[in-house]
Structure 1
């Protein structure tokens, strides 16, 4: 049967426990929809008769897969059939391990699944695993074929029993109740035509249920993501080869390449033959880009528009399914593959573990994740990674974990934070990337006993920022927690000695303070920044600098009434400002924007320094996640 390459194709996967009838079901679908090559069924029937065995529809699938395996130009994971509505591509998943490998490696992108359950055996362990795994892979449309109804005399009671168990299972997983259909793939009952043997079922056939699955969402309507596969030279031109995964781009568009935020304009596409080269490329097209600017781009980078960008980070939350023969261990190094990116990665925290067989939540303090367990984890990569939340763009939100070339697990990014505002691109011609040492952040955390973090003290002059910062540094140091204060005045003596007090210079001073704090926190220290930093936009950018690097950031609003701050005036700054010696002084002739969502507020006119430090120590405990230490809530004497 001839298929037009422009027709919509809905990719589906047929899965289930071994011997529950997957191959027979696929073979029957192909046969009953007229999707088998002419004469193929007759040929197999003659071969079966010659060997003295009955003809099975599963032979059709086996034969087609064997032919595909001999033809390297055909994707060996797909078998196609069509209905009056559209075409379908069945992703071959003959066994549990093969299915997981195919799906996790991204070789196929299933939009829907048919979960096959034997009417005699009912829901099995592998059924539960598949049901848990499908949502992780982004598959939300799930049909259940309760197969082999002929072996239970087409009993409605047995169908209702299994359908009820599946409804309970899906509810426990937080999934909508699936459409469960009674089938007999061997006899062709309720596959394409309604079954006269099951008149009690009026929910329609499997083919009707498939046709009712919503069409694929248009990838063209999603934000642009261009995955770079390689970079080639053609004379003086550099060709950036890759694939438009989502969205579209035109000649003249401005692009940002991630990680690194390199900016350039698209001058032209490069394809062969030249006369077929387009002016525009949409989702699904493989092409090569020629840029107007000479920027550093390499395999693994992802291009986006300037407006709707991916996340760039070295730390992110995820949900994973572990398949390896040995447990995943916290802190152990793995290879993380996402699109064409490949980076070293470690799981640094395990928040929740779900047993795939019992669906019970396990102890998250275990040292790792056992085979066939699902876990919510925090992942740390050796260098910045570009990605999206899977709920936003599934293609750039899925990844696999491997070691020594062997796929051990996979998962999706969930709950990562997008930048609140667009980050500025780095210099267009810059070939710079962050240099990684051999000692990564995880090793420093284990050596120091705590994570690095940034505490950003903001408030009017005289509110008590520097006083509390110094006291907090002392208390942390005495508890074995490495900390350092970055005070505004101290920065002006060195790092920012070239800056004045214009609005632009003040913004730059805050940016430098944020970058310096990020370096200290990356080294494992608690960086305590004490700056007036009066404007929300500047504080927001400081937070983005930290969070883009996966560093905890906590904003501390230290405040007191202006009259109290004036009365304290430890540096006589208010008096000088009122005499006109300090122009644009915050609180006198320049405004202060009160934080809208600070993690902690400290009214120093109402709290003593000791009370303030007690509250600060509690927020530090949460930010740096100090292991094997007494809780500060339970041991307040430790900070006095």
Structure 2
């Protein structure tokens, strides 16, 4: 639970993270040395038939505080519970999403804590657990009162303490602690047995762990989606994920019809130290465009290679694209190892993958290679599940925490657009830089013009946010914007920070034939497709004076004239494609008009 201790030096990651809390201060020693630390997995506990709880709630909430991790309602005097002739006054109510306690291994979508204190300073906390389902009026009461992050709002009428009294009073009782520093023990925990329901839209994203974007890349049918599902299966047993089957990840009709991943599928899960957003990128050759979008969102990639098949054409192309869009780290998942009995053949496949990575300037010799069987792990095989755990641990260890650009104006390339009945238009994408708060003005940079609007809501994985920041995969609800006014490839930016350009100078490397590029030269007037952030747009190339043609393998300075103006800037990288293959990669060096 969150309990304000007036301390700010502890955190949820890095050297101030939970494993170090006990070393940060003498006051925090219980965090590592305590014997009654909460939360716990309530496993094998009998439902209490006593002592009975008597609720004496009659007052209301007087203020709401938004700590950035939770909304905390403070209540006036006169609300209390009585247990065994001991009375505890209600101090406040706050929420956690996901829930903190587990029951017989089950994790929960959300948890409300009703915090009480007796005259001697002893704490009693009532925990209310929620599964995903219908909207919860209790959780909504907190959300409706939430001020901006870091602010406190004085409340009038509307939130009564009596609203939080559970209908059923059977509970699990145990002696525990505060769950954040100073981790004080002696807390009387009363976890109500009956489980409520909360809607996905009511889950407030709890930014208690650093956020990292990863994804699976690789050839079609090498097991990317199976492995993604296996990760959620394994982590769901530890409370770090909701299990997502392959059908749930491959959820678009055309994906199920063809049995391959086409659109980019987003999945979330947590380890002990991180929150991951995972994109499952397409392997089918027809859909490399979507993979470019997915790879551009990654802080690190898991390259899935089928051990029986070895590297294949899309394996090479995905590695090349990962290099072009600057995916900084790759981990190899050598999949389907249960189908390979020959250790020497496995080692040869591993060596081949390492050489391929080195070809595209990834550190092939030092890249971690983890042997897995996604399908066996999905089926519950203990050895295969251990391999998936090793893969996730390798992600924690090998992919460093990315440095986010938060001190520059907000920018989010638009990946998709949805019309939500009764709410308006939502655009989704990965925040490239900066921050955005609910209620702030933004601009949509379109083809040749700028559309002003306001961000009236923010969501990440169906959980509400007050603020989104660089690295988040987020949905932004826009005020007064019709569905047909905005499209994929446009960008959402801070007002006045960017304008569309049509013509720019660029430095370009043209892929050689051996790298999958053209086998013939091109000339001034060549009109390929340019993949810029989430957009793909035709552009005409003009070569410098004195240069008649460009050969595969050349580096060249050229002028690019796009058919319509879009949001570009100096230093922005792009890919050039023609006829279903990547033929070049470049960077804009000077904006012209």
TM-score normalized by structure 1?
0.41
| Between structures 1 and 2, the one with greater strand share | 2
TM-score normalized by structure 2?
0.43
The structure number with the bigger radius of gyration is 1
| Between structures 1 and 2, the one with greater helix share | 1
